[in-house]
Amino acid sequence: MTIHMVKLCVGAEDIEDLENWQARLMKQGREPFHHTRMMPKQKDQLMDGGSIYWVIKGAIRVRQRIVDVRQIAGEEHSMCELVFDPNLVRTYAKRKKAFQGWRYLKPADAPRDLTSGEAAVNIPPDLDAALKQAGVW
């Protein structure tokens, strides 16, 4: 059964910051990746169509499909390298409080993807939440 991951996109002000960071990696001949200290125990479920959902400025805003989970040697201990599909898929904003590391995210709890027309509108998370609460969005 598929499971997802949610992680803070530390230092990113918006989705474009994430795009730029990953574009720099790809110019160096690397696929988009992120290193984390802990190896996910549910690696097989992540590899079964799972995505990483990035939290930017207090809300899940975008996701990327996870294409590989590798164990790599670090200076003092081994690390986990998460490798992503370069395609960023914008999602409906979903508020998320700050946390350390990463968390698993059940598919039922993941925000749905925006359609191409919806993705063209970049609404701030607070306004998006208010519109949803009012039943307008």
Listed by start position, the domains of the chain span 4-133
Contact call for residues 11 and 17 (beta carbons, < 8 A): yes
Backbone dihedral angles phi then psi of residue 116, each to the nearest 5 degrees: -60, -40
Q: Kindly give, in sequence order, each residue whose CB lies less than 8 Å from that of residue 137, ignoring residues fewer than 6 positions away.
A: 128, 131
Q: For residue 66, what are its two tokens?
A: 């996870």
pTM of the model: 0.85
- For the chain, 137 residues long, give each residue's pLDDT as a single digit of tens: 999 999 999 989 999 999 999 999 999 999 999 999 899 999 999 999 999 999 998 999 999 999 999 999 877 788 999 999 999 999 988 999 989 999 999 999 999 999 876 655 666 666 766 766 676 65
